[in-house]
């Protein structure tokens, strides 16, 4: 892949090359799975825009652009800011960790699992710990369940630091809300190392009481934090149904009360199954896919997505070489004027130059010689003279339309009008004369797709013909037969 991408460097605009690298590698997918997730992927999108600006404003080369990026990374005054995420513009629910929410503010914030335990580094049972600020070294014998005094001091200091860090996180989380803050916790008492425990110390969370030997939270009707703290609290017990209101939009928990977990899980399962089915299916197809022929999209091969194989092998040629010979012939005929024949050698040279950029290692002298022989023979046939008398409507006409749950795309070799009737002509270079009779019926499906594309575009019915370039035989395909 690296060698193939390198072949495009310096031969196409800088922004197109950067887009090619991002599109043909897994950089975007890997960045989306990295630590900063979508932000990293968005930054790559900004990198592509910078490449376009550098190309359009000053014609920078790839080497010059990379040097500019490296230089800006080492100079704070030249550093680019991060690209804003696209979904920041949408009115949607965002799920963030507290660390990710730093510096951001939202109208309404839900802080979940207030009673969940906060991980604290000081709760481990390490054999040895060092407090570099005091120079103490603590030791523990885990099997004997014994520790020295230094270890006790170190672990106490770590617990104090962890508690201070947890309080700081709670402050960050609660100050993200600009207008409404919802603190969600369970009916059972939370962990002794939890956000709810911190709030209960100052009377901002229901206290623990003991009933029949079991600890539970005090009744919500007895909990009056607004009297002690002077804050506007509204207590909502989600375990009890609330009275219906005339304005349902004022109830922040209306959707929670009606949530059916099993139904939601089933919807997700169906969605995942559908996603796997679509991922395994081919969205795009071509009129010649069932013939095992190369898809004709009118696009460079590296951008075409085809599930079909290459054309049938010509005698003495590999499948790849047979495809290239056919492509050269098609490209020459795309610009050929049958009424006023031009320079065949110039047409072959131009076609070869256009295709060789993608396949530089192909035996082009041999392939060009074969294409020259095919076209010289064809131009001397009655079929070529008949085309000179037709009204040429278009050559290599791309089309795309939906059909049967898929997208059909392809390219019509020649569209012409003869004696008042519209005809779709498809060139063939890979069949011998002796095989035509047995194979002609195989092209009915292909012709039906081409004719349908013409009908959709022009609103006119057309016929379908196969033109064999090697001997100039032209055959009408009856599409009404199966």
Determine the Cα–Cα distance for residues 354 and 362; give it in Å rounded to an integer: 13
Q: Report residue 465: phi and psi, to 5°.
A: -130, 145
Residue 135 falls in which region: left (phi positive, over 0), alpha (psi -120 to 50) or beta = left
Determine the Cα–Cα distance for residues 126 and 164; give it in Å rounded to an integer: 21
Determine the Cα–Cα distance for residues 130 and 133; give it in Å rounded to an integer: 9
Determine the Cα–Cα distance for residues 317 and 308; give it in Å rounded to an integer: 19
284-476: CATH topology: Lambda Exonuclease; Chain A (3.90.320)
Determine the Cα–Cα distance for residues 131 and 164; give it in Å rounded to an integer: 17
- Sequence spans of domains, the chain: 2-88, 96-239, 284-476
Determine the Cα–Cα distance for residues 149 and 93; give it in Å rounded to an integer: 50
Q: Contact 401/443 with Cβ under 8 angstroms?
A: no
Determine the Cα–Cα distance for residues 358 and 192; give it in Å rounded to an integer: 67
Tokens of 276: 């796997």
DSSP bridge partners of 217: 208
Task: Give SS3 for 106.
Answer: strand
Query: Closest by alpha carbon to 217, among 205, 232, 234?
Result: 205
Query: Closest by alpha carbon to 148, among 129, 161, 122, 162?
Result: 129
Q: Contact 115/191 with Cβ under 8 angstroms?
A: yes
In this prediction, residue 317 carries a pLDDT of 59
Using a 10 angstrom Cβ sphere, with 0-12 exposed, 13-18 middle and 19 or more buried, the burial of residue 240 is: exposed
pTM score, whole prediction = 0.42
Determine the Cα–Cα distance for residues 478 and 476; give it in Å rounded to an integer: 6
In this prediction, residue 85 carries a pLDDT of 56
Whole-Å CA distances, 80 to 39, 48, 180:
14, 13, 34
Determine the Cα–Cα distance for residues 132 and 31; give it in Å rounded to an integer: 37
Stretches in the chain below the pLDDT threshold 50: 122, 246, 297-314, 433-434, 438, 482
**What are the tens digits of pLDDT across the range 133-167?**
888 888 888 887 888 888 888 888 888 888 888 88
Determine the Cα–Cα distance for residues 379 and 402; give it in Å rounded to an integer: 37
In this prediction, residue 162 carries a pLDDT of 84
Query: Closest by alpha carbon to 165, among 200, 118, 95, 124?
Result: 118
Determine the Cα–Cα distance for residues 465 and 480; give it in Å rounded to an integer: 14
Q: Contact 108/115 with Cβ under 8 angstroms?
A: no
């Amino acid at each position: 892949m690296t060698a193939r991408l390198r072949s495009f460097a310096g031969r196409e605009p800088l922004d197109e090359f950067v887009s090619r690298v991002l599109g043909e590698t897994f950089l975007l997918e890997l960045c989306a799975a990295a630590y900063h997730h979508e932000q990293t992927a968005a930054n790559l999108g900004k990198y592509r825009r910078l490449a376009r600006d550098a190309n359009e404003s000053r014609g920078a080369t790839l080497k010059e652009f990379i040097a500019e990026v490296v230089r800006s990374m080492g100079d704070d005054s030249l550093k680019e800011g991060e690209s804003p995420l696209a979904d920041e513009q949408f009115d949607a629910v965002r799920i963030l960790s507290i660390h990710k929410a730093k510096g951001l503010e939202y109208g309404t914030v839900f802080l979940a699992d207030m009673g969940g335990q906060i991980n604290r580094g000081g709760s481990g049972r390490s054999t040895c710990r060092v407090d570099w600020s005091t120079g103490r070294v603590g030791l523990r014998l885990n099997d004997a369940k014994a520790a020295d005094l230094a270890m006790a001091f170190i672990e106490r200091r770590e617990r104090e630091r962890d508690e201070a860090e947890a309080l700081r996180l709670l402050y960050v989380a609660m100050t993200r809300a600009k207008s409404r803050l919802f603190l969600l916790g369970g009916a059972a008492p939370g962990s002794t190392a939890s956000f709810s425990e911190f709030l209960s110390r100052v009377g901002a969370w229901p206290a623990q009481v003991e009933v029949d030997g079991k600890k539970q939270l005090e009744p919500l009707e007895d909990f009056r934090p607004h009297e002690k703290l002077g804050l506007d609290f509204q207590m909502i017990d989600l375990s009890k149904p609330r009275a219906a209101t005339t304005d349902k939009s004022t109830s922040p928990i209306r959707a929670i009360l009606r949530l059916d977990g099993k139904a939601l899980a089933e919807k997700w399962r169906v969605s995942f199954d559908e996603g796997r089915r679509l991922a395994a299916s081919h969205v795009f197809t071509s009129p010649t896919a069932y013939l095992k022929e190369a898809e004709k999209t009118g696009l460079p091969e590296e951008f075409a997505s085809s599930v079909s194989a290459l054309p049938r092998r010509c005698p003495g040629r590999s499948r790849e070489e047979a495809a290239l010979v056919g492509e050269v012939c098609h490209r020459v005929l795309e610009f050929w004027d049958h009424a006023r024949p031009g320079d065949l050698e110039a047409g072959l040279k131009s076609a070869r130059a256009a295709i060789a950029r993608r396949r530089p290692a192909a035996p082009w002298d041999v392939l060009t010689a074969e294409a020259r022989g095919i076209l010289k023979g064809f131009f001397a046939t009655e079929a070529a003279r008949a085309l000179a008398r037709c009204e040429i409507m278009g050559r290599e006409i791309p089309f795309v339309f939906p059909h049967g749950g898929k997208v059909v795309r392809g390219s019509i070799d020649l569209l012409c009008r003869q004696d008042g009737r519209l005809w779709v002509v498809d060139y063939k270079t890979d069949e011998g004369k002796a095989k035509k009779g047995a194979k002609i019926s195989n092209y009915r499906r292909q012709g039906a797709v081409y004719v349908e594309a013409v009908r959709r575009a022009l609103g006119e019915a057309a016929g379908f013909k196969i033109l064999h370039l090697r001997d100039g035989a032209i055959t009408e395909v009856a599409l009404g037969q199966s």
